[in-house]
Amino acid sequence: MLHDLGIIMLVAGAISLLCKWLKQPVVLGYIVAGILAGPYVCGSSWVNVESAETWGEVGVIFLLFTLGLEFSFKKLLKMGSTAFIGCLTIVVGMMGCGFMLGRMMGWSEMNSLFLGGMLCMSSTTIVFKALDDLGLRQHKFAEICFGILVVEDLFAVVLMVLLASIAVNQQFDGAEMLGQVAKLVAYLMFWFVAGITLIPSLLKKCREYLNDETMTIVALGLCLGMVLIAKMAGFSEALGAFVMGSILSETVECERIEKLMSPIKNLFGAIFFVSVGMMISPATLAEYWLPILVITLTVIFGQIIFATLGITLSGQPMKLAMQSAFALTQVGEFAFIIAQFGESIGVTEKFLYPVVVAVSVITTFLTPYTIRLSEPAYKMLERVLPKRFFDFVGRLSQGKSTIAQQSILRQLLKKVGLTVAVYSVVSIFVITLYQQFVSSWIVDAVKAVTPDNLEWVSRLVAMVVLLIILSPFIYKMVASHKSAPETLALSRDNSYRRATLVALYAARMILAMIFITFCIGQYFNLTLGVLVVSAIAIVIVILLSSKVHKQSSDIEQHFIDNLSAREREQENNRSVRREVEAAFLNYDLHLADFELNPQSLYCGHQLLNLDLRRSCGVNIVRIVRGGVNINAPGGRERLYPHDRIVVAGSDEQIRRFRKELDTAVHTGKEKHSAGRTSTFSLEQLQVSPDMPFCGKTLAESRIGEMAQCVVLGIEHDGEISMNPGADEILWQGDTLILAGETEKIKKLLV
C-alpha cells in the first residue's frame, strides 16, 4: 500500500502544478492523472487496484468530514423556500431524466436508477472554485447556488440510504423506504441534538489545552468515532463523517478546525480523486463515447432547465434563476461515491463508474464557460420570449415578497410539532441506549446486595433510574410552549380554538404516558389498567416537580447557547452589522470585505493616493485592524497587511475592485530584485566634522529618520555605549553602530 500511496502522491503533486499553470480545476487534473497513471494504462504492477480503492474509501471519509464542516443545519432552516424548491425540482427532474435515459440506452433498471441518482447533484467544490476564480462569490445568485448545494448535500446522504435499501431488496418497497428515511432522520436528529449539547461544552472546557496539534487530533478522533457509531447503526462510514462535520460546524471552533483540516482535506481529496481516475479504463471510455456525450448534454441542459424552473417557481427573478442554473451544470463528488457504492455491492455494471466520471470531467471543465454564458442566454430569451412571459415571472417574484400571515394555531402547531418530534427521538434513543448498556448492570449490582426474595427491588431501581433520566424530556414533551404568545392568545379565544388547544395538550399527555407505560412494561408485567394509572401518576409528578422543570429548562438553554455560540461570535466579528447591509441593499449597493494580502502593492499607501473611487467606483466605508474599527477612513489613512477592507459598491464595481486587488501583488521577481538592492546589515559610521549632525544630540541629528536605520551603539574614546539615549551627543571621531539598509546608510556620507 505504501508503494501505491507514493505513486498517487507523486502523480497528484505533478498534476497540481500543471493545473495551476493551465488555470484549470485541480480536481479535474487529479482524475485525468489517475487515468494515465492507473493500472489500465501502466499495468497492474504499477498500482494495485484494490489498494487504490482502499485509499479512495479513506479519502471519502475525510472529504465528507470537511464537507460537513461547511454544512449547517441551522443555515439550512434559514434558507427559506428557494433552496428547498430549487433542489426538489432539480432532483426530481434529473433523476427522472437519468432513469429514462438509461432505459432508452438499454441499460438495466438498477443501472438506470443509479444513473439518475448520480446526475441530480452538482459539485459544491467546483462551484465554489469557479465562482472564486471568476470573482462572483459576492453576487446574489451565488448565495442561491450555495443554498441549493447545501440541500443537495443533505439529500445525497438520504439518497445513498434509499439506493442501498433498493439495491439489497432489488425492488422499490415504499414501506421499507419510509422506514429507512425515518431511521435516518431519527439518527441525524438525535446525534445533532446530543452533539450540540455535549461537544461545544467539551471544547470550551478544554480550550486552554487545545493547541493546533491537540485540536487536530481531537477533531479527527471525533470524526472517526462518529464513523464507528454510524457503522454500528447500519449506515455508511461516509454518513458518520458528514454528521460529525455538521455538528462541529455549529461550534465556535469551526473556523479553526476548518483551517487545520485544510491540509488533510487537500491530501485525502487528492488521494480520492486520483484513486477514482485509477479505476477507469480508457478502453471503456472509448467504447461508451456516445453515452458519455448524450449524458453530458443531458446534465448541462437538464440542470439549466430544472434549476431555472425551480428557482423561478420559488419566487426569484428569472435572471437570478438562470445565473444560478448555469453555475450548477456539473456532476458532483457524491456521484463518484454513489457509483463506487453501487459497484462495490454488485448492483451496477463496471462500465457505469468510468462513464459517470468522464461526464464529471467534461462538465467540470465546462463550468466556468457555462457561468459566463448565463447573461447572454438571458438577454437572448428577452429578445425571443414575449413580454407577457416576463410579466408573469415578475408577478411570481413580487408574490414572494408578500409575507403570508399564518394563523396563530398553525404557528403553535409548528412549534409544538418540532419540539415533540425532537424530544420523542431523544427519549427513544435514551431508552434504547439505557436498555442496551446500563440496565442490566444496575439490575445485577442491586441483586448482589439484596435478598433473593426481593429480586423485584433491582428491577424497580433500574426503572426509577431510567424514569429520572427521561423526566426532563417528558416534561418538555408535555409542557413546552404553554406560556407562548400563541398559547395565551388561543386560551383567551372563546371559539373552537380553545378546545383545539385542550386537545393538543391531551395528545401530548397521551404520548408521554405511552413512553412511561413502555418503560414500566420493560421491568414489570402489570395489567393494562395498573400500567395506565401508574403512567398518569408519574406524568403528573413530573409536571409538578419544580426540580424537573428547572433541570429541563437548563438542558434546553444549554443546547440553545451552544447552538447560537458560533453565530454570536460571528456577529461580534462582523465588519458591518446585518441591518446596515440591508439598508445598503435598498440603494442597490452591496458591502463586501477583503483581507489585504501582505504582498499587496496597496500596503503602506494612503487611500488618497490609491484613489479607488475613480479606478473602481467603490468607497471604503470601514477598515478593521486588529479588532479595531476605523469607520469612514480619511484620505490620509494608510493600509497595512491583513487589514480587512469593507467596501460599498455595485456588483460590477466590487468585481473590478476584487480584480485590481488580486493583480496588485508583488511578483516573485519583484521580491527577488528588492532583496538584492535593499540588503539589511550592521554598519559602522565614523562621525566627521563636516557631517551636519556632528556636535548635536542623537535626537537632534535625526539619523534614524534620514537613513531609516536604528542607532544601536556609539563608540567614544574606546568605550562603547549600547542603546544610547536621545540626549547622547555625537562628537567628532565617534563611531556609530547602525542597523538598516546599506544603501540608505551610505547616503549619510554624502
* pLDDT single digits (tens) 139-151: 777 778 877 887 7
As a whole number, the mean pLDDT across the chain is 80
The C-alpha cell at 8 is: 498517487
Gap between the Cα atoms of 234 and 660, Å rounded = 52
Give CA separation, 690 vs 107, 695, 714, 750, in Å: 96, 10, 18, 10
| 3-state SS assignment for residue 19 | helix
Give CA separation, 670 vs 32, 577, 638, 642, in Å: 35, 39, 22, 20
Quote the DSSP letter at residue 624.
Answer: E
Quote the DSSP letter at residue 575.
Answer: S
Q: Please report the pLDDT score of residue 638 as a whole number.
A: 85
Alpha carbon distance, N-terminus to C-terminus of the chain: 68
Q: How confident is residue 190, by pLDDT bands cut at 50, 70 and 90?
A: confident
Contacts by residues 388-395 (CB-CB < 8 Å, ≥ 24 positions apart): 390/318, 393/312, 393/317, 393/318, 394/317
- pLDDT at residue 463 is higher than 90: yes
Give CA separation, 228 vs 225, 238, 243, 251, 722, in Å: 5, 10, 12, 22, 64
Most confident of 393-397, 432-436, 629-633, 742-746: 432-436
Length of the chain: 750
Q: Please report the pLDDT score of residue 461 as a whole number.
A: 92
- Residue 53, classified by CB atoms within 10 Å of its CB into exposed (0-12), middle (13-18) or buried (19+), is middle
Domain 678-749: top CATH class: alpha beta
The C-alpha cell at 564 is: 447560537
Quote the DSSP letter at residue 135.
Answer: T
Give the sign of the dihedral formed by CA 155, CA 157, CA 163, CA 169. Answer: negative
Domain map of the chain by residue range?
59-380, 408-559, 586-672, 678-749
Question: Could you give phi then psi for residue 623, rounded to 5 degrees?
Answer: -120, 125
- pLDDT at residue 512 is higher than 80: yes
Between 565 and 465, the more confident residue is: 465
- pLDDT at residue 532 is higher than 70: yes
* pLDDT single digits (tens) 88-132: 889 889 988 998 998 898 888 888 888 888 888 887 767 776 776
Gap between the Cα atoms of 579 and 120, Å rounded = 36
The C-alpha cell at 701 is: 541629528
* pLDDT single digits (tens) 317-330: 888 888 888 988 88
Gap between the Cα atoms of 645 and 636, Å rounded = 15
Q: Please report the pLDDT score of residue 152 as a whole number.
A: 80
Question: Could you give phi then psi for residue 650, rounded to 5 degrees?
Answer: -80, 175
The strand ranges marked E within 303-343 are none
Full-prediction pTM beyond 0.75? no
Gap between the Cα atoms of 600 and 610, Å rounded = 12
- pLDDT at residue 625 is higher than 60: yes
- pLDDT at residue 135 is higher than 60: yes
Average pLDDT over residues 251-276: 83
Question: Could you give phi then psi for residue 551, rounded to 5 degrees?
Answer: -65, -45
Helix (H) or strand (E) holding 681, with range, is strand 680-686
Q: Please report the pLDDT score of residue 217 as a whole number.
A: 92
Of the listed ranges 21-30, 461-470, 652-661, the one predicted with least confidence: 21-30
Q: Please report the pLDDT score of residue 65 as a whole number.
A: 85
The C-alpha cell at 163 is: 439506493
* pLDDT single digits (tens) 149-186: 877 877 777 777 677 767 666 555 556 666 666 777 78
Nearest to 595 by CA among 627, 617, 625: 625
Q: Please report the pLDDT score of residue 129 as a whole number.
A: 67
Gap between the Cα atoms of 319 and 324, Å rounded = 9
Question: Could you give phi then psi for residue 90, rounded to 5 degrees?
Answer: -65, -45
Are residues 97 and 116 in contact, defined by beta-carbon separation less than 8 angstroms? yes
- CB proximity list for 196: less than 8 A, separation 6 or greater: 247, 250, 559, 562, 563
Cell numbers 379565544 label which residue? 493
586-672 has which fold?
Answer: Alpha-Beta Plaits (3.30.70)
Q: How confident is residue 674, by pLDDT bands cut at 50, 70 and 90?
A: very low
CA angle 318, 321, 327 (to 5 degrees): 145
Average pLDDT over residues 349-361: 84
* pLDDT single digits (tens) 383-392: 887 877 777 7
Q: Please report the pLDDT score of residue 673 as a whole number.
A: 40
Instruction: Annotate 156-191 with b (16+ C-beta within 10 A) or e (fewer).
Output: bbebbbbbbbbbeeeeeeeeeeeebeeebebbbbbb
59-380 has which fold?
Answer: Na+/H+ antiporter like fold (1.20.1530)
Q: How confident is residue 669, by pLDDT bands cut at 50, 70 and 90?
A: very low
The C-alpha cell at 490 is: 388561543
Q: Please report the pLDDT score of residue 679 as a whole number.
A: 66
Fold match between domain 586-672 and domain 678-749: yes
- pLDDT at residue 402 is higher than 60: no
Average pLDDT over residues 471-500: 76
Average pLDDT over residues 193-209: 87
The C-alpha cell at 475 is: 416534561
Average pLDDT over residues 436-447: 90
- pLDDT at residue 308 is higher than 60: yes
Q: Please report the pLDDT score of residue 676 as a whole number.
A: 43
- pLDDT at residue 403 is higher than 50: no
Gap between the Cα atoms of 539 and 518, Å rounded = 13
